[in-house]
Structure 1
Amino acid sequence: MSHMLSIEPLTREAFAPFGSVIEADPASMRFINGGNTERFHALARVDAAGEGAGVIINIFRGQPRVFPYSVTMMERHPLGSQSFSPLRDRPWLVVVAEDQGDRPGRPRVFIADGRQGVNYGRNVWHHPLMSVGAVSEFIVVDREGPGNNLEEFHYDEAFVIPDPSSEELR
Structure 2
Amino acid sequence: MLIQALTAQGFAPFGDLLDTAGSPDKIINQGLCGRYHDRAEMDFMAGRAGLSLFKAEPRDLPLPLAMMERHPEGSQAFIPMSEHGFLVIVAPDADGRPGQPLAFETAPGQAINFHRGTWHGVLTPLQAPGLFAVVDRIGAGDNLQEHWFETGYVVDRA
TM-score, structure 1 normalization: 0.89
For 2:70, the equivalent position in structure 1 comes to 76
For 1:93, the equivalent position in structure 2 comes to 87
1:77 CA displacement: 0.3
Structure 1: any 5+ residue segments left out of the alignment?
none
| Contact 1:49 1:79 survives alignment (8 Å) | yes
**2:125 is the alignment partner of 1:140:** no
1:160 CA displacement: 0.1
**In 1: Cα distance, 2:85 partner to 2:76 partner:** 19
Partner SS, residue 26 of structure 1: coil
For 1:63, the equivalent position in structure 2 comes to 57
**In 1: Cα distance, 2:101 partner to 2:70 partner:** 13
**2:33 is the alignment partner of 1:30:** no
What is the identity, as a one-letter code, of the residue corresponding to 1:31? Answer: I
Identity of counterpart residues, as a percentage? 37
Partner SS, residue 78 of structure 1: coil
| Contact 2:82 2:129 survives alignment (8 Å) | no
Partner SS, residue 64 of structure 1: coil
* 2:96 counterpart (83, 86, 102): 102
| Contact 1:28 1:42 survives alignment (8 Å) | no
TM-score, structure 2 normalization: 0.95
| Contact 1:61 1:137 survives alignment (8 Å) | yes
What is the identity, as a one-letter code, of the residue corresponding to 1:85? Answer: I
**In 1: Cα distance, 2:19 partner to 2:128 partner:** 21
Q: Deviations along 1:49-91, whole A, 9 cap, x unmatched?
A: 02xx011011111101122111000000000000001111112
**In 1: Cα distance, 2:45 partner to 2:73 partner:** 5
Aligned residues: 158
* 2:8 counterpart (7, 12, 15): 12
**2:38 is the alignment partner of 1:48:** no
